[in-house]
């Protein structure tokens, strides 16, 4: 075996790789499953990755439309609760928007890219457990459907205005779906991490694994440390909710359920979505200008450090007095330190640009623009996060929390667009159109930027803590800006989804796109 040969060591992976290979005989062609059956039986991780990417982009469109409606409520054009038909319905959509962007859009989008790309980057024929990857996709999809259906049936993660018996049952279903989605994402993460650890080429040290594969290994480790804590919380809430009547943890008539899970979408845990963004950005910049980092091990350390600062299971503050935890040195240190690896990584990306070919075409390439936009938004989010933990600024329980969230989420979406463009071959699609790619990146950057800015300034303006942004005094202009930002994000998500779907129809690379 030479260094250039794939080191397929596991029989399952080998059989999976076989599934991806071109059929050699007419018998094999005859035995191949139909197009409709393929998504249910495939053992090719690239195909599973493509399913993840396409489905999560479609869900991104739906989620961002909910975001537009929520922002419309903030503009005072119509009262938020009237827009959705009551306090509970507004609260359901408000929580669905956050959970969905994290668990149904950004994490599966980046996991999908990883399933398709990581095996080829580390020299494996397929992921370690291809059937587990397929199970991960289907259980994630079923969980996602359960979440969406149950939320629209009156479920969700708690309520603020009392519930009926049916709504309590729907709420239990939402919890079940949330648990399913989390376990499915963990299964996919284990698959990707095992591929990097166990199936990478002989002689390839972990320190020199390609940045995206390394970032996915770090992300998988961080997910494994963080999501199980939320799953454990769901177990307690579910047991309580089914105890009839719930005693403390699963009280359907109060927002208690949400308050036990909201740490997932706040810093530092919110950064677990962002770890792969770093790997995608570095690789995209390097590929665009045709340069490699002079210190790849530095990139490895920086991504690892950011992952370490994203571990968030400890920040669950429902069971302690919130201020005890969030005024603590560790919370403040995590918030401040998260900026450092991003600054260092931006330096690494700048070094690549300086070392590479700097023609106008390359500098305006979708991948270059997207990587820059994702890093800028992520940097802005981390900067707001750092401001948020500074106690005298009094931003902790304000909309500044959502500035961080929006920055990370939109950076994740942009990274997905960059991934579609950079690894179209691995994702088994045609290259994303240049126009669509640039348009999606521009819309997402503009929308994300407006959301981060308006949420941050609103956080400074409000007199009292106001996480749900229901207090509209003094920030009407900012609320309009947030509304425009939401529309731009929705348009960007729609452009990315349409671009990916249309690329499915044109798998042959055109000359113009080859640049």
Partner 1 sequence: MRTTALPAAEATRPRTVVVGALLATGAVFMAFAALVAVYVQQRQLARATGQEWFPEGSVELGPAGMMMMTLVLSMVTVQWAVQAARDEDRPHGFIALGVTLMFGAAVINQFWFVYTDTAFAIDGGRAELLFYAVTGSFIAMLISGMAMLAVTTIRSLMGPFGRDLAHGVQAAGAYWHMCVLCYFLVWYVIFITK
* Closest distance of CB 2 from partner 1, Å: 9
Per-residue DSSP letter, 125: S
247 counts as binding partner 1 under rule CB under 8 A: yes
Total of residues contacting partner 1 (CB under 8 A) = 46
Nearest to partner 1 of 156, 250 (CB atom)? 250
Q: Which of 36, 244, 329, 360 touches partner 1 (CB under 8 A)?
A: 244
* Closest distance of CB 202 from partner 1, Å: 6
Q: How far does Cα 339 stand from its chain's mean position?
A: 19
264 counts as binding partner 1 under rule CB under 8 A: no
278 phi-psi bin (left φ>0, alpha ψ -120 to 50, beta other): alpha
Q: What are phi and psi of 291, to 5 degrees?
A: -130, 155
Nearest to partner 1 of 8, 369 (CB atom)? 8
Do 421 and 370 contact (CB within 8 A), yes or no? yes
* Burial readout 262-288 (b: 16 or more C-beta within 10 A, e: otherwise): bbbbbbbbbbbbbbbbbbbbbbbbbbb
* Closest distance of CB 206 from partner 1, Å: 11
Task: Report how far residue 419's alpha carbon sits from residue 53's, in angstroms, rounded to the nearest whole number.
Answer: 10
Nearest to partner 1 of 128, 252 (CB atom)? 128
245 counts as binding partner 1 under rule CB under 8 A: yes
507 counts as binding partner 1 under rule CB under 8 A: no
Nearest to partner 1 of 243, 347 (CB atom)? 243
Task: Report how far residue 404's alpha carbon sits from residue 267's, in angstroms, rounded to the nearest whole number.
Answer: 7
- Residue 165 CB contacts under 8 Å (≥ 6 apart), including other chains: none
* Closest distance of CB 309 from partner 1, Å: 18
Of residues 102-161, those binding partner 1 (CB under 8 A): 128-129, 132
Do 41 and 450 contact (CB within 8 A), yes or no? no
* Closest distance of CB 207 from partner 1, Å: 15
Task: Report how far residue 469's alpha carbon sits from residue 146's, in angstroms, rounded to the nearest whole number.
Answer: 28
Note the residue count of the chain. Answer: 515
* Closest distance of CB 197 from partner 1, Å: 5
* Closest distance of CB 169 from partner 1, Å: 17
Residue listed under structure tokens 């007419």: 26
- Residue 319 CB contacts under 8 Å (≥ 6 apart), including other chains: none
Identify which range of 9-17, 99-107, 331-339, 394-402 contacts partner 1 by CB under 8 A.
9-17
Nearest to partner 1 of 231, 363 (CB atom)? 231
Nearest to partner 1 of 234, 373 (CB atom)? 234
Nearest to partner 1 of 74, 131 (CB atom)? 131
Q: Which of 125, 210, 313, 492 touches partner 1 (CB under 8 A)?
A: 313
123 phi-psi bin (left φ>0, alpha ψ -120 to 50, beta other): left
Task: Report how far residue 135's alpha carbon sits from residue 123's, in angstroms, rounded to the nearest whole number.
Answer: 23
Do 61 and 70 contact (CB within 8 A), yes or no? no
Nearest to partner 1 of 123, 341 (CB atom)? 123
Q: Which of 231, 298, 305, 470 touches partner 1 (CB under 8 A)?
A: 231
* Closest distance of CB 69 from partner 1, Å: 34
Nearest to partner 1 of 235, 504 (CB atom)? 235
- DSSP secondary structure letters along 304-368: HHHHHHH--GGG--TTS-HHHHHTSHHHHHHHHHTHHHHHHHHHHHHHHHHHS---HHHHTSHHH
Nearest to partner 1 of 230, 366 (CB atom)? 230
Task: Report how far residue 334's alpha carbon sits from residue 311's, in angstroms, rounded to the nearest whole number.
Answer: 10
* Closest distance of CB 260 from partner 1, Å: 9
9 counts as binding partner 1 under rule CB under 8 A: yes
Q: Which of 101, 214, 249, 334 touches partner 1 (CB under 8 A)?
A: 249
Of residues 161-190, those binding partner 1 (CB under 8 A): 186-187, 190
Per-residue DSSP letter, 23: P
Nearest to 286 by CA among 347, 355, 217: 355
Coil, helix or strand at residue 429? coil
Of residues 189-228, those binding partner 1 (CB under 8 A): 190-191, 193-194, 197-200, 202, 220, 224-225, 227-228
* Closest distance of CB 8 from partner 1, Å: 8
Per-residue DSSP letter, 123: T
13 counts as binding partner 1 under rule CB under 8 A: yes
Nearest to partner 1 of 144, 187 (CB atom)? 187
Nearest to partner 1 of 186, 404 (CB atom)? 186
Task: Report how far residue 175's alpha carbon sits from residue 157's, in angstroms, rounded to the nearest whole number.
Answer: 7
Q: Which of 37, 239, 393, 504 touches partner 1 (CB under 8 A)?
A: 239
* Closest distance of CB 77 from partner 1, Å: 42
Do 146 and 82 contact (CB within 8 A), yes or no? no
What residues make contact with partner 1 under the rule CB under 8 A? 1, 5, 7-13, 128-129, 132, 186-187, 190-191, 193-194, 197-200, 202, 220, 224-225, 227-229, 231-233, 235-236, 239-240, 243-245, 247-249, 313, 316, 319-320
């Amino acid at each position: 075996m030479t260094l250039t040969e794939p080191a397929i060591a596991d029989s399952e992976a080998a059989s999976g790789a076989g599934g991806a290979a071109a059929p050699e005989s007419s018998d094999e062609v005859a035995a191949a499953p139909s197009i409709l059956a393929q998504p249910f039986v495939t053992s090719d991780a690239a195909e599973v990755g493509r399913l993840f990417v396409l489905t999560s982009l479609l869900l991104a469109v739906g989620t961002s439309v909910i975001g537009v409606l929520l922002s419309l409520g903030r503009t005072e054009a119509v009262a938020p609760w009237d827009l959705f038909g009551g306090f509970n319905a507004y609260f359901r959509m408000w929580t669905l928007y956050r959970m969905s962007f994290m668990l149904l859009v950004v994490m599966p989008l980046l996991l999908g890219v990883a399933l398709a790309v990581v095996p080829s980057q580390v020299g494996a024929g397929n992921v370690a457990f291809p059937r587990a990857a397929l199970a991960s996709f289907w259980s994630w999809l079923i969980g996602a459907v359960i979440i969406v259906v149950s939320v629209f049936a009156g479920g969700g993660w708690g309520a603020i205005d009392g519930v009926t018996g049916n709504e309590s049952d729907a709420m239990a279903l939402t919890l079940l779906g949330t648990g399913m989605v989390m376990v499915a994402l963990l299964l996919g993460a284990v698959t990707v991490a095992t591929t990097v650890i166990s199936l990478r080429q002989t002689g390839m040290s972990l320190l020199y694994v390609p940045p995206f594969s390394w970032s996915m290994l770090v992300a998988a480790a961080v997910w494994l440390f963080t999501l199980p804590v939320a799953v454990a919380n769901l177990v307690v809430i579910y047991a309580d909710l089914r105890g009839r009547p719930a005693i403390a943890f699963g009280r359907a008539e109060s927002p208690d359920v949400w308050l036990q899970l909201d740490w997932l979408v706040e810093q530092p845990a919110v950064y677990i979505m962002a770890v792969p963004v770093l790997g995608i950005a570095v690789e995209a910049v390097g590929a665009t200008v045709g340069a490699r980092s002079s210190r790849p091990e530095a990139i490895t350390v920086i991504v690892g450090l950011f992952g370490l600062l994203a571990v968030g299971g400890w920040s669950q503050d429902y069971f302690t007095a919130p201020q005890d935890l969030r005024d603590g040195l560790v919370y403040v240190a995590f918030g401040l330190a998260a900026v450092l690896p991003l600054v260092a990584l931006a330096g690494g990306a700048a070094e690549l640009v300086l070392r590479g070919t700097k023609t106008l075409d390359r500098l305006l390439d979708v991948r270059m623009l997207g990587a820059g936009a994702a890093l800028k938004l992520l940097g802005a989010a981390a900067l707001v996060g750092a401001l948020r933990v500074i106690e005298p600024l009094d931003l902790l329980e304000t909309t500044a929390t959502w500035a961080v969230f929006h920055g990370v989420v939109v950076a994740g979406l942009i990274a997905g667009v960059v991934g579609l463009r950079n690894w179209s071959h691995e994702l088994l699609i045609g290259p994303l159109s240049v126009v669509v790619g640039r348009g999606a990146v521009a819309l997402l950057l503009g929308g994300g930027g407006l959301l981060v800015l308006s949420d941050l300034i609103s956080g400074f303006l409000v007199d009292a803590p106001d996480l749900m942004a229901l207090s509209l005094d003094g920030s009407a202009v900012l609320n309009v800006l947030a509304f425009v930002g939401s529309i731009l994000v929705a348009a960007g998500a729609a452009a990315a989804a349409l671009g990916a779907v249309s690329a499915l129809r044109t798998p042959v690379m055109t000359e113009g796109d080859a640049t």
